[in-house]
Structure 1
Amino acid sequence: MQPIPVDSVAEAAGASPTRAEDADHARKQQLLDAFHQFEKSFKQRFPVVWWGTLIGPWLVTFFVAVAIYLLAGARFFWQMLTASAVAFFFAGRFAIPLDAVANLKGLDLLEPWHMFWMVTYQDVMVALFMAFHVGFLFKLPKIGPKIAELTVDGEMILSLQPWMRKATFFGLIAFIAFPLAATGSVGGAIFGRLLGLSRWATFWGSVIGAVIGNGAMLYLSKVMLALFPENSLLVKLGGPAIIVVIIVMLERRYRAMKRQFLEVRELHAEEHAAAQRNAD
């Protein structure tokens, strides 16, 4: 699978753009067409694998949930379900150290290693679905445009860390392991396509990156528990707040870098368009 070029705004647009938005639209459409073409051909060639990766994660998750309910009890099940929602919609892998320092009464049965396996399971199932079917999400009215925006994140990372394009598979692992919202399995599926990786390589790269990132968070949890026992004043008063502040600061810093990247790219596009007009 060939990587999608991101080095030149003009090349990505397929023409001489007058605005960076034209290049963005062309680039996203190019990526969307690539995903649609892959899903169409993959479904025709390997229908069993196609349906398995589409439905399998949901079925496996259902049976895992039933097993947890029957083997661990209703109280543990509901606590795990609550923690899963927090990790999926807000905290991501930061849910692992959050459980270590939060000392929440409603999640008293959960240990950091429980959170590690829960977050890792989420990452594996999402990676399996996204590596093969992220093109399906592009079609959804409200979700599709938001996912398409992740192409900008991938391009920004490649511009800041060009070694990732040469490292390909290991670049994807590093991308996934870093704890940001844009570097999850959804962003990893798009990033893998930008690197020209196959869907299975994207899946395994996402899994390995997730295990490394989650393992680092588990280690951080053990360090935090050693430094700040559950009955310490810091944990009782500000444990959850510390984790939330870290998440917010990382995301704000990342968004600022992204805005700067877009401004610079738009300026380059305008300069390129002006140079071509002068040449004509």
Structure 2
Amino acid sequence: MRKYIEESIKIVLPGVIGLIGILLGGYLAVDKPFRYWSLLAAYFFPPLGKESVIPLGIAAGIHPLVMALSVAFIDIVVALFLMWNYDFAKKIPFIGPFIEKVENIGRSSSNKYSWIKPLRFIGIVLFVMVPFQGSGGVVGSILGRLIGMSPLNTFLAITTGSITGCILIAYFAETIKIVFLQNFILGLILVILILIIGIMVVVYMRNRNKVNKTRFRR
């Protein structure tokens, strides 16, 4: 009976913490809570990630630190849930198949995630910091397990990486916003340059993954 109660608490508690935190954030930290909640809800649906949700929040007038810590908070709560309920999560529709997919990629000879293993804790921190789709608390938790890190160390690495990455993104976006307000043309040029660099990185990563898959098949 005691074990059942403990397991039930571990399943329910992260969701309760997340809900309370997001509700309090909306009421205490921002003037327009429904816009804030909408952006945080959008974070759960790909392809939107921290690299898009945080700048959108800042453009809407939400303080950079509030937006950064709120998105990081979601990653941390998700990581907490998986730290306690990893095996249970594999039975949840949509989440379970996604976990198995990432596990299969991680176990294959593909080097999509292979750079993380030698770095271990630092590797997970850097992975979660990177503002690309699929680099949040869920995938970070899976990779931490695959490379043999303890659930607690994985959780701490995700917490560190998410907070650091979100704050960097938030204040970079705030800087771009200030430049836009002072000099529209210069701000537009900066945004175009960022988009070009982002597209180049995405194309490079996709081409590299295709090459790796071809080598693996051979």
User: What TM-score does the superposition give when structure 2 sets the normalisation length?
Assistant: 0.77
Contact residue 29 and residue 66 of structure 2 kept, 8 A: no
> Size of the alignment, in residue pairs?
212
Give the structure with the larger helix fraction: 1
The equivalent residue for 1:202 is 154
Query: 2: distance between equivalents of 1:57 and 1:122?
Result: 10
2:52 equivalent to 1:86: no
Query: 2: distance between equivalents of 1:113 and 1:249?
Result: 29
RMSD of the TM alignment (CA)? Answer: 3.3
Among 174, 179, 188, the residue aligned to 2:131: 179
Among 55, 58, 79, the residue aligned to 1:97: 55
Query: 1: distance between equivalents of 2:64 and 2:103?
Result: 33
Aligned amino acid, residue 166 of structure 2: N
2:54 equivalent to 1:128: no
| Greater Cα radius of gyration, structure 1 or 2 | 1
SS of aligned partner of 2:210: helix
In the TM superposition, what whole-angstrom CA distance separates every residue of 1:227-272 from its partner, at most 9, and x where no partner exists?
3227725768x96x887777666555434333332221121xxxxx
Contact residue 137 and residue 144 of structure 1 kept, 8 A: yes
Query: 1: distance between equivalents of 2:167 and 2:137?
Result: 16
2:14 equivalent to 1:62: no
Contact residue 90 and residue 96 of structure 2 kept, 8 A: yes
Mark the CA change 1:186 to 1:84 in structure 2 (over 3 Å): closer, same or farther: same
Aligned amino acid, residue 213 of structure 2: L
Runs of 5+ unmatched residues, structure 1: 1-42, 268-280
Contact residue 154 and residue 187 of structure 1 kept, 8 A: no
Task: Work out the percentage of aligned pairs sharing the same amino acid.
Answer: 25
Mark the CA change 1:234 to 1:144 in structure 2 (over 3 Å): closer, same or farther: farther
In the TM superposition, what whole-angstrom CA distance separates every residue of 1:191-232 from its partner, at most 9, and x where no partner exists?
111211111111111111111211221231233134322772
2:121 equivalent to 1:169: yes
SS of aligned partner of 1:181: coil
Mark the CA change 1:254 to 1:136 in structure 2 (over 3 Å): closer, same or farther: farther
Contact residue 228 and residue 234 of structure 1 kept, 8 A: yes
In the TM superposition, what whole-angstrom CA distance separates every residue of 1:161-197 from its partner, at most 9, and x where no partner exists?
2xx4233222221222222223211111111112111
2:217 equivalent to 1:266: yes
Query: 2: distance between equivalents of 1:112 and 1:209?
Result: 17
In the TM superposition, what whole-angstrom CA distance separates every residue of 1:111-146 from its partner, at most 9, and x where no partner exists?
322211211111111111122323323223444223
The equivalent residue for 1:76 is 32
* Mean Cα deviation higher: 113-122 or 128-137: 128-137
